[in-house]
Amino acid sequence: MQTIQPRSSSVCHKRLNTDIPFWEDVSPTKGCRKTLLSVRQIRNLNTYIDERMATRIRTMDLAADLGLSVSHFSRIFKQTTGTSPRIYILRRRIAGACATMLLSDLHLTDIAYMYGFCDQSHFNRAFNFANGISPLEWRRVQRKVVSSFR
């Protein structure tokens, strides 16, 4: 389990556990005095991201959806979730792609386009960066695991 060390000893800077599944909804850190996104705002952002998964999603668009400036949104988003909006969106895209790979026999190129990657190569690089394994190999391993339970 890898943790990120806080920059200060403030109560608001709790250690961020990086092995929390990224596909789960994130709730704000409790007990902080700093401005954070509410659970409702996070839910709205997740809906916004999920509805536009195949298109380009910019931080500017997310900030505008909440009526915040880009710099303020980026700062409180990172304080709330522990990651930047770009990485958060990437993780949600990869999580969606994982579910689709398990539940369908679609080609990886089609899955890449469904989740907003410009081509299969871009999808492969992002997936490999996030999981340390190629999407094709991940799909093979997961299918073996699933078939072993049948």
Identify the weakest region by mean pLDDT among 19-28, 74-83, 88-97.
19-28
* Sequence-separated (6 or more) residues with CB below 8 Å from residue 91: 22, 23, 83, 130
In this predicted structure, what is the pLDDT of residue 9?
35
Task: Evaluate if residue 15 carries a pLDDT over 80.
Answer: no
As a whole number of Å, the CA-based R_g of the chain is: 17
Average pLDDT (89-105) is 95
Rounded Cα distance between 130 and 107, Å, is 20
Q: Tens digits of per-residue pLDDT, 19-36?
A: 444 444 455 545 445 689
- Going by C-alpha positions, the residue among 140, 78, 145, 89 that lies closest to residue 117 is 89
Q: Where do the domains of the chain lie? A: 3-88, 94-148
pTM exceeding 0.85: no
Given this structure, which CATH class describes domain 94-148?
Answer: mainly alpha
Average pLDDT (96-124) is 96
- Give, in degrees to the nearest 5, the angle at Cα 115 between 109 and 118: 60
Rounded Cα distance between 42 and 88, Å, is 11
* pLDDT class of 53 with cuts at 50, 70, 90: very high
Amino acid in position 20:
I
* pLDDT class of 6 with cuts at 50, 70, 90: very low
Rounded Cα distance between 64 and 20, Å, is 28
In this predicted structure, what is the pLDDT of residue 147?
84
